[in-house]
Amino acid sequence: MIDAFTTSVLTVVLTIISLYKWVIIISALLTWVNPDPNNPIVQMLYRLTEPAYALLRKFIPTVFGGMDLAPVILIFALMFIEIFLKNLFF
């Protein structure tokens, strides 16, 4: 019973991590095309990603050569967490 619950919770957490990685990728791609800032989808993506970027920027300098690498660093961190959790529980 506990094993099934743990597996279910872990599956949900891993799915959320995977979805958040896609949100970061889409948000990063949108910065290349300069979308309308009043668009509700753009605002939602900004509200979902900017707190994580701000937290990351507080501890690590993310701008190198004029490029902000916060999305890349955050995706690598999420990949690390995802792989760590998979190896820990499965």
Instruction: Give the number of other CB atoms < 10 A from CB of residue 35.
Output: 13
All residues at 6 or more sequence positions from 28 whose CB lies less than 8 Å from its CB, including other chains: 71
In the DSSP assignment, the letter for residue 38 is T
Q: What is the pLDDT of residue 52?
A: 96
Residue 70 has pLDDT above 90, yes or no: yes
Residue 9 has pLDDT above 80, yes or no: yes
pTM: 0.89
